[in-house]
């Protein structure tokens, strides 16, 4: 740290700063310039920074190194990877999706959710047992029985489980039943709890406090690390701002900021970060795009009747659609890279798949033939006009919506035709563009 003295500072004031530094067991290097004196201090602690700033003759105190040591990437260059039951979080690893209900409500609700999120590709199951609710009258969670249900779900579905611990006295019970201990936003600065989870052998997911700066958050992580637990995962879950349209303001810039300051893995919680179901998928994708190592998402079998955070919980279908999108964008690998063999006694899946392959080949040809015809229409019109006819397109979509004889619903059938029409328009537009450019080039060479 550097202490910059005022130009008017006296020798006595400089000496007083040096004495204070030495009394704290630190070394002071005094450099007398033409205008002012600056004092370099080797070693630092937060208290002396604040104290030196109050001494007579001091203009400012500039900190050079971060106040957190163990969490800092200055201290540890290689990125931490947290491993839990075969799931690895951190640099070079696939995005880890944690999903499950805000609160465990019943065995049936938890098991149903575990089955659904596992099928869709989640790698960790979440579920609150002790809920730190804003109102004392709101559902507080089932407590210990919920931890036991999480344990059962782990054994049944093989997913590691995460749950929030609110009381240091509960740490042993959590260690017995869950794989990752969560410290919630409201407890980020509960230093007794941080020290207790710091002594645990389980990894800790540390959420950002409701109004915590990144530095305060990293200092909270430092409590856990300095108590001996190296496996800390940071979770951005939104902060309080003046904005009321969302429950919190999801600070996605925290992800790249943290990347440059810490080696710890970082995940994003778009559920608490937004508070609205419709915003969860877009912000989850944004979190993945900005480089998060994972996501934690609230999923419920019946969000409308959830006992907590229903408004921000995804139903199974929405969660599945989000996972599809994460796979499409290759943040998550396809679940069946290794095809699973058909169980003995069932019809051979391979035969059916062969027929699907044949059909796909025919469909690809037909789709190309359709695009060629669309192109022909465009060729017969002038390049400035659209080749497609909006009324015919609408009629086609209406026919698709009205008549559905197979397993596809009208909505699904409409999705297929909608995609087909978009692709055809794209072919036509490319052709029109090339004609326009050729005409412009010809006109240019005429001049």
207 binds, among Mn ion, ligand PEP, none (CB under 5 to 8 A by kind): ligand PEP
Q: Which residues make up the interface to Mn ion (CB under 5 A)?
A: 102, 309
CA dihedral 298, 303, 305, 311 (to 10 degrees): 80
Supply the minimum distance, in Å, between the C-beta of residue 121 and Mn ion: 21
Supply the minimum distance, in Å, between the C-beta of residue 102 and Mn ion: 3
184 binds, among ligand PEP, Mn ion, none (CB under 5 to 8 A by kind): ligand PEP
- Three-state DSSP at 302 gives coil
- Name the residue number minimizing CB distance to ligand PEP: 184
Supply the minimum distance, in Å, between the C-beta of residue 157 and ligand PEP: 20
**Across-strand partners of 413?**
none
Q: Residue 184 or residue 203: which is nearer to ligand PEP going by CB?
A: 184
Q: Residue 5 or residue 314: which is nearer to ligand PEP going by CB?
A: 314
The string of DSSP letters for 59-109 reads EEEE--S-S-STTBTTT--SPP-EEETTEEESTTSPPEEEEE-SB---HHH
Supply the minimum distance, in Å, between the C-beta of residue 137 and ligand PEP: 17
- Three-state DSSP at 313 gives coil
Q: Residue 73 or residue 246: which is nearer to ligand PEP going by CB?
A: 246
Supply the minimum distance, in Å, between the C-beta of residue 171 and ligand PEP: 17
- Name the residue number minimizing CB distance to Mn ion: 102
**Across-strand partners of 183?**
206
Supply the minimum distance, in Å, between the C-beta of residue 197 and ligand PEP: 14
CA dihedral 273, 279, 284, 285 (to 10 degrees): -140
Q: Which of 142, 322, 293 is nearest to 231 (CA)?
A: 293
Q: Could you tell me the two tokens for 47?
A: 């208290």
Q: Residue 66 or residue 248: which is nearer to Mn ion going by CB?
A: 248
Compute φ and ψ for 124, nearest 5 degrees.
-135, 140
237 binds, among ligand PEP, Mn ion, none (CB under 5 to 8 A by kind): ligand PEP
247 binds, among ligand PEP, Mn ion, none (CB under 5 to 8 A by kind): none
Q: Which of 273, 292, 340, 276 is nearest to 97 (CA)?
A: 292
Q: Residue 207 or residue 263: which is nearer to Mn ion going by CB?
A: 207
Supply the minimum distance, in Å, between the C-beta of residue 27 and ligand PEP: 42
Q: Residue 40 or residue 310: which is nearer to Mn ion going by CB?
A: 310
202 binds, among Mn ion, ligand PEP, none (CB under 5 to 8 A by kind): none
Q: Which residues make up the interface to ligand PEP (CB under 6 A)?
A: 102, 128, 164, 184-186, 207, 237, 269, 272
Q: Residue 102 or residue 233: which is nearer to Mn ion going by CB?
A: 102
For residue 229, CA distances in Å to 81, 208, 223, 233, 299 come to 13, 18, 9, 11, 29
Rounded distance between C-alpha atoms, residue 56 and residue 35, angstroms: 17
121 binds, among Mn ion, ligand PEP, none (CB under 5 to 8 A by kind): none
Q: Residue 102 or residue 125: which is nearer to ligand PEP going by CB?
A: 102
User: Residue 271 belongs to what H/E stretch?
Assistant: helix 270-274
Q: Residue 134 or residue 244: which is nearer to Mn ion going by CB?
A: 134
Rounded distance between C-alpha atoms, residue 125 and residue 207, angstroms: 17
Supply the minimum distance, in Å, between the C-beta of residue 309 and Mn ion: 4
The number of beta carbons lying within 10 Å of the beta carbon of residue 398 is 12
87 binds, among Mn ion, ligand PEP, none (CB under 5 to 8 A by kind): none
Supply the minimum distance, in Å, between the C-beta of residue 138 and Mn ion: 11
Burial 345-380 (b: 16+ CB within 10 A, else e): eeeeeeeeeeeeeeeeeeeeeeeeeebeebbeebee
185 binds, among Mn ion, ligand PEP, none (CB under 5 to 8 A by kind): ligand PEP
């Amino acid at each position: 740290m550097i202490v910059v003295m005022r130009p008017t500072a006296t020798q006595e004031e400089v000496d007083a700063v040096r004495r204070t530094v030495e009394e704290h067991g630190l070394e002071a290097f005094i450099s007398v310039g033409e205008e002012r004196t600056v004092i370099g201090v080797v070693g630092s602690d937060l208290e002396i920074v604040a104290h030196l700033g109050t001494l007579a003759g001091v203009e400012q105190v500039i900190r050079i190194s971060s106040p957190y040591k163990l969490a800092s990437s200055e201290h540890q260059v290689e990125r931490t990877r947290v491993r839990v039951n075969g799931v690895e979080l951190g640099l070079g690893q696939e995005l880890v999706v944690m999903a499950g209900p805000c609160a465990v409500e019943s065995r049936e609700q938890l098991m149903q959710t575990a089955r659904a999120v596992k099928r869709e590709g989640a790698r960790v199951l979440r579920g609150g047992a002790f809920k730190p609710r804003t109102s004392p009258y709101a559902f507080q969670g089932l407590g210990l029985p919920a931890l036991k249900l999480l344990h059962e779900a782990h054994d049944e579905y093989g997913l590691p489980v995460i749950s929030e611990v609110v009381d240091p006295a509960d740490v042993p019970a959590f260690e017995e039943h869950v794989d990752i201990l969560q410290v919630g936003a409201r407890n980020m600065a509960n230093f007794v709890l941080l020290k207790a989870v710091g002594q645990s052998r389980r990894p800790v997911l540390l959420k950002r406090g409701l109004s915590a700066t990144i530095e305060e958050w990293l200092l909270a992580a430092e409590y856990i690390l300095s108590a001996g637990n190296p496996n800390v995962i940071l979770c951005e879950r939104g902060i309080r701002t003046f904005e009321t349209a969302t429950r919190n303001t999801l600070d996605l810039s925290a992800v790249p900021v943290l990347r440059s300051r810490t080696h710890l893995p970082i995940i994003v919680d778009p559920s608490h970060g937004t508070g609205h179901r419709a915003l969860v998928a877009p912000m989850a994708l944004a979190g993945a795009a900005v480089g998060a190592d994972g996501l934690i998402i609230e999923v419920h079998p019946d969000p409308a009747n959830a006992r907590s955070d229903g408004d921000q919980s995804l139903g199974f279908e929405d969660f599945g659609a989000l996972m599809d999108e994460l796979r499409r964008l290759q943040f998550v690998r396809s679940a069946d890279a290794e095809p699973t063999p058909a169980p003995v006694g069932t019809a051979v899946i391979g035969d059916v798949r062969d027929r699907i392959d044949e059909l796909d080949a025919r469909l690809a040809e037909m789709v190309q033939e359709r695009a060629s015809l669309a192109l022909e229409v465009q060729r017969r019109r002038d390049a400035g006009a659209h080749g497609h006819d909006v009324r015919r397109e609408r009629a086609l979509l209406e026919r698709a919506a009205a008549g559905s004889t197979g397993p596809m619903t009208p909505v699904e059938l409409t999705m297929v035709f909608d995609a087909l029409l978009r692709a055809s328009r794209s072919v036509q537009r490319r052709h029109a563009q090339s004609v326009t450019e050729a005409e412009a080039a010809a006109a240019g060479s005429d001049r």
